[in-house]
Structures are given as structure tokens and as C-alpha cells.
Amino acid sequence: MSLLPLLSLLLVPVASLASSSSAHTTQHQQQQHLHHDAPNHRSYNPPPSRHHHRSTQQKEERYEILPSSAILERMQNLAKAYPFFVTLTTTQEWFGLPRAGHDSDCLFDKNYPVSGTGCNNYVLIIQDKVAYPDDPDVALDHDFVDHYLNLEESSLGDNNNINSGWKHVPDVFLSGAVHGNERVGPTSLLEMTELLLGAAHCESLPRMRYKPSDDVVSNNTNTTLSSENANLQKIQEEEDWKRELFNAQNCRLTLEGEGIPPHHRRWLARLVSSRRTIVIPTANALGYSRDQREEDGIDPNRDFPFDIRENDRDKCMQTVAGRSINELFRSHLFPVGLTFHGGMEVIAYEWGAPTYLDNDAPDAIAQNAIAGAYSRYAGGFSGHVAYDFGTMNDKVYYVRGGMEDWAFAGSWDPDRVVQCAPTTFGGYPAEKTTYNNSTLRAFNMLIETSSPKTPKRKDLGKRTNPLEGGDGGG
């Protein structure tokens, strides 16, 4: 297989909200958002190229499946390089969740400021932070989780003074590795994130608001101190402008050399400025670090309170992976999302639940059209046709407690939802699986990326022209 179709496919749900976002902000405003001032721009240094901050050594062109430690390092580099466009946090910090695992698990988490016994569940928040500084996702306050959630809940009412993110831009949800031994998703999400952030950063340059005036202050024997200062200031501004302009041109040329032409750069940058994308690369952090399907023996994709039996209330929300996704959906309003799996090659949508084995979802025609667009846009790769698509019941198999159906129908099909009462990790409040009429209405599609759950590196393709069809050069 190749990661290139997946990178293209990932960007479709993000891009599909373009018309929705235009209701919130005009294209002119979006362009202004990306051209904001950097704090103290005179000391500003542009981040290194995408190739550089992936590794201090020359990076090979061919993709590779990243281990958990490399994923953390890559995320930290992105957060440092692009502070205006991405935030890195954990569901432990954000929502006060426990960690799955033992003393010997995820030792690399010690390189992150907050860690403990077991594995952190990392989240990347991609958005234009300067354009929306009051968005709760920008001003994360890990000591006031309940206040944050109440803020988002109140935004569903008539309080127009609340600066909730979804009121400005739509939310997109992307998850990888709900099953820890299905390895393609996290790497695909990190590669996509770098494409988005690199383009947004380049498009935001130069950061100065204006080119210095060409007016020159006369320098004669009668020059006052203020005139001398004005001259010095003008010289400094001209130097700043030249440096900013050089940085902008160099950044654009670097992206072009990496196969991102100007029209793609502008498109990718607009995706950052006009929506908020929540990425949880290794949802099952423990399983991914161990290369195991389950989280300590429990399958996270059977852990959601949809279409499970009432007497199985203790068998949902048992995993930290499930609770992490639950908290993200409770605190955001996701109309679309993708979740990555492996073991076959298909794009699947609702239904995937036994109760609806012989029924179409109410908007099956729309889902089919969207899944077909995903497939066509991604295209095929060497030795493979474009992704097949259809319902999970038809193309994959049905499950009880599946994340996709839960995210799709939990708010409008309450007869299929139960309040969870797990005993793991000291329990989980039942009210956290009581949903309002808006929370769970997402077209959250399942991407079965490849028949082998861990493809060989030689089959992953190269970085050449990442948004073009084919396999990137073999």
C-alpha cells in the first residue's frame, strides 16, 4: 500500500466543511487570520523545514510506520515549531482521566512534562489560535475541567457571549489506532498534520502588518534626536521587512521542493484557518505501544454505550481509550470524522450494529455519496484499486458497542444508548454517558487502511508529491 491515498483521503473530511465555515467567516477574514503578528517579530526565527524537525539527520524519502516514542517526539516538535497553529495536550491533563498500563509501559512519556504510571493519551488541536484567542481549546486550563465542559454545554443554548470554538469554525475528529496492532493510522495522521501546519505557517508569512514607508527622514546638521531615532527605526523596520520577506519566500520554495505547489499550500492553509481539527493519533495508547489490539485485554471498539444490552452496563467505558474519545465528543461538536483501522481495504459507514443489520441509516444516500467521494479523491496505489466503500454491516461486520455508530446516532437514537457503570480505574460517572440532542450526530467513517495491519516499509510509498495520485515514486 501507499500512505499517499490516505493523506489525500484524510484531507477530504477537513475540506468538506469549507462551505459550512464560510457561514462563520469570510474568505478575506480567513486570509487576515493567517497574517497575524508574531509576538516580538524582531526576534522571530522561522521553524525548520518539515524534513528537518522530523529528525536531526537527513530524512529518507520513504514513509515508515512510527513507534510510540517517535510519535511523541514528532508531536512535541510540531507544537514547538508552530505554536500559533497547534496545541499538544493529553486527555489526562485535559479531562482528568487515568492512565492505562503499568510501570514498564510508555517509559518515553517521561520526556513529556506530565506523565505517570502507564501511558498518556495525546491529543493535537489544530486551529488558528490568533484568530480565535478566546476559544476554550486555545486557553486550555487543566485545573478547571468541569468549567470547560460546562462552557461548551452552555454554548448549545442561547448565550451568544460564549466564545465556544464551534460557533466560529466547525470541528473535525480524526483518530488512529483504536486497535493498537493496526499501525497505519497514527503515522498517516502525523504526516497529514505536518502538511497542514507547514502550509499554514508559510501562508502566514510575512508577519509584519505593512511594508515600511519609503519616506526618508533628512539627515542634516539640524537633525534632532527624534529624527535620528526615526531614521534608526526605519532602518530597523526595513531590515525586519527584508528578513520577513526572505523567510516567506524561502518557506514557500521549500514547500514547492517537497511537492506542495502554491495552490495546494493555500488550500491546506485555509483548512487550518477555517476549522478546528482534533487529532488523537494513538487513541489506544497502551495497545499501540505494546503492538496489541486491546487495551489491557479489553477491546476499545466494543466499549461504547450503543446497541449493547442493559445488563452489560458494566462493560462499556472500561478503557481509557474509550473514555478519551467520549470526553472529546462531549466537549466538541463534530459533524464529520475518520477513524483508522486495518486488516482490509474499505471505507465503511453506518450502520454497523446488529439491531440495524437489515436496515439503512436515515441518511444512507448522503453517507454513500461522501464515502464514494473519499474513495475517488484518494485514488488507488501500486497494485491496488481505489478503496471499496459501503456500510459496515455489508463490508466489514457488525459489533455491539462500536464507536462509529455511537458517534453517529447516540444523540438521536436514545433507545440504543445505556448509561455505563464500569468498575475499571475506580469507575466512571454515569452522567458522562448521558448525551444531549447535539453531541453525537457525526458522519464518523471507518477507514480500513490495508490488508496487512502492519504493512512493510517498501509498500508505504515515498514523500514525492504527497497530494498527487500514484504511489509517490514506488
Q: Return mean pLDDT, the chain.
A: 83
Measuring CA to CA, which residue among 235, 232, 244, 245 is closest to residue 214? Answer: 235
Give yes or no for a cis peptide into 300 (omega within 30° of 0): no
Q: Could you tell me the CA-to-CA distances from 158 to 136, 162, 165, 434 in Å, in that order?
A: 18, 9, 15, 21
How confident is residue 32, by pLDDT bands cut at 50, 70 and 90? very low
| Residue-level pLDDT at 8 | 65
Q: Is the pLDDT of residue 25 over 60?
A: no
| Residue-level pLDDT at 473 | 44
Instruction: Determine phi and psi for 175, rounding to 5 degrees.
Output: -130, 145
Q: Is the pLDDT of residue 30 over 70?
A: no
Map residue 56 onto helix, strand or coil. Answer: coil
Instruction: Give 444's strand partners.
Output: 337
Q: Let me know: does 162 contact 151? Beta carbons within 8 Å.
A: yes
The one-letter code for the residue type at 259 is: G
Q: Is the pLDDT of residue 29 over 90?
A: no
| Residue-level pLDDT at 61 | 80
Average pLDDT over residues 45-62: 45
Q: Alpha-carbon dihedral of residues 464, 468, 469, 472, nearest 10 degrees?
A: 0
Q: Is the pLDDT of residue 443 over 60?
A: yes
Q: Could you tell me the CA-to-CA distances from 137 to 59, 99, 102, 123, 308 in Å, in that order?
A: 32, 22, 30, 11, 32
H or E element in which residue 388 lies: strand 388-391
Task: Return d(Cα 262, Cα 254) in angstroms, integer.
Answer: 11
Average pLDDT over residues 310-320: 97
How confident is residue 45, by pLDDT bands cut at 50, 70 and 90? very low
Task: Return d(Cα 136, Cα 148) in angstroms, integer.
Answer: 7
Residues 6+ apart with CB under 8 A from 9: 338, 347, 374, 375, 377, 378, 387, 447
Only one residue has cell 480565535, namely 132
Q: Is the pLDDT of residue 19 over 60?
A: no
- Measured in whole angstroms, how far is the alpha carbon of residue 332 from the centre of its chain? 13
Average pLDDT over residues 11-36: 45
How confident is residue 60, by pLDDT bands cut at 50, 70 and 90? low
How confident is residue 417, by pLDDT bands cut at 50, 70 and 90? very high
Q: Let me know: does 68 contact 288? Beta carbons within 8 Å.
A: yes
DSSP string, 281-328: TTSSHHHHHHT-SSBTTB-GGG-SSBS--GGGGGGSS-SHHHHHHHHH
Q: Of all residues in the chain, what percent carry a pLDDT higher than 70? A: 76
Kind of pairing between the strands at 443-448 and 336-341: parallel
The 10s digit of each residue's pLDDT in 190-235 is 999 999 999 999 999 988 766 666 554 444 445 555 777 878 888 8
Q: Let me know: does 193 contact 124? Beta carbons within 8 Å.
A: yes
| Residue-level pLDDT at 380 | 80
The 10s digit of each residue's pLDDT in 445-456 is 999 999 999 999
Q: Is the pLDDT of residue 152 over 80?
A: no
Three cell numbers, residue 386:
481505489
Residues 6+ apart with CB under 8 A from 199: 255, 260, 264, 265, 266, 267, 268, 269, 272
Largest Cα–Cα separation, the chain: 93
| Residue-level pLDDT at 208 | 74
pTM: 0.84
